[in-house]
Structure 1
Amino acid sequence: MSRPDRLEIEAAGHLGHVYVSTRPAGPAGGEGAGPAVVLIHGIGVSHRYLSRLHGLLAESVDTYSIDLPGFGATPRPEHTLSVANHATFILGALEQLGVLEFVLVGHSMGTQFAIEAALQQPGRISQLVLMGPVVDAKRRTVAQQALALGRDSLFFESPSSNALVFTDYLRCGPTWYLKTLRVMMGYATEQKIARVSAPVLVVRGANDPVASAGWCSRLAAQAAQGQLLEIEGTGHVVQHNRSVEVAGAILDFAGIRRTAGEAPQGRPA
Structure 2
Amino acid sequence: MTGELRDGPLVSEIEVDGLQGQVFASRRPRETPADATVPAAPAVVLIHGIGVSHRYLARLHRLLSRSVDTYSIDLPGFGSTPRPEHQLTVPDYAAYILGALAQVGVHEFVLVGHSMGSQFAIEAALQEPERIRHVVLMGPVVDSRRRSVPRQALALGIDSLFFETPSSNFLVASDYFRCGLSWYLKTLQVMMDYPTEERIPGVRAPVLVIRGANDPVAGAIWCRRLAARAAGGRLLEVPNNGHVVQHTGAGEVAQAITSFASLPAGAPELQP
Shorter-normalised TM range: over 0.9
**Structure 1 partner of 2:14:** 9
Whether 1:227 and 2:210 are equivalent positions in the alignment is no
Measure the CA separation in 2 of the matches of 1:228 and 1:34: 23
Does the Cα contact within 8 Å between 1:8 and 1:17 map onto a contact in 2? yes
Does the Cα contact within 8 Å between 1:33 and 1:257 map onto a contact in 2? no
**Structure 2 partner of 1:171:** 178
**Structure 2 partner of 1:245:** 252
Whether 1:137 and 2:138 are equivalent positions in the alignment is no
Query: Quick one: which amino acid aligns to residue 243 of structure 1?
Result: A
Cα offsets for 1:202-241 (capped at 9, x unmatched): 0000000000000000000000210000000110000000
Query: Quick one: which amino acid aligns to residue 50 of structure 1?
Result: L
Does the Cα contact within 8 Å between 1:200 and 1:223 map onto a contact in 2? yes
**Structure 2 partner of 1:267:** none
Runs of 5+ consecutive residues of structure 1 not aligned to the other structure: 263-269
Q: Aligned Cα RMSD in Å?
A: 1.6
Shift of 1:33: 4.3
Pick from 5, 23, 30 the counterpart of residue 25 of structure 1: 30
Whether 1:106 and 2:101 are equivalent positions in the alignment is no
Secondary structure at 1:66 match in 2: strand
The TM-score, its normalising length taken from structure 1, stands at: 0.95
After alignment, is 45-54 or 27-36 more displaced? 27-36
Shift of 1:138: 2.3
Shift of 1:258: 1.5
Cα offsets for 1:185-204 (capped at 9, x unmatched): 00000000011110000000
After alignment, is 87-96 or 7-16 more displaced? 7-16
Does the Cα contact within 8 Å between 2:143 and 2:222 map onto a contact in 1? yes
The TM-score, its normalising length taken from structure 2, stands at: 0.94
**Structure 2 partner of 1:45:** 52
Query: Quick one: which amino acid aligns to residue 100 of structure 1?
Result: H
Measure the CA separation in 2 of the matches of 1:131 and 1:166: 19
Shift of 1:29: 6.9
Measure the CA separation in 2 of the matches of 1:93 and 1:122: 16
**Structure 1 partner of 2:3:** none
Measure the CA separation in 1 of the matches of 2:40 and 2:104: 18
Query: Quick one: which amino acid aligns to residue 75 of structure 2?
Result: L
Shift of 1:260: 1.8
**Structure 1 partner of 2:42:** 35
Does the Cα contact within 8 Å between 1:44 and 1:168 map onto a contact in 2? yes
Shift of 1:26: 3.4
Q: How does 1:77-116 map to 2 (within 5 A)?
A: 77-116=84-123
Cα offsets for 1:20-50 (capped at 9, x unmatched): 0000013597964410000000000000000
Cα offsets for 1:62-91 (capped at 9, x unmatched): 000000000000000000100000000000
Shift of 1:261: 2.0
Measure the CA separation in 2 of the matches of 1:242 and 1:62: 21
**Structure 1 partner of 2:223:** 216
Measure the CA separation in 1 of the matches of 2:51 and 2:41: 31
Cα offsets for 1:116-155 (capped at 9, x unmatched): 0000000000000000000012221101100000000000
Measure the CA separation in 1 of the matches of 2:40 and 2:61: 16
Measure the CA separation in 2 of the matches of 1:10 and 1:25: 28
Query: Quick one: which amino acid aligns to residue 260 of structure 1?
Result: A
Measure the CA separation in 2 of the matches of 1:87 and 1:224: 20
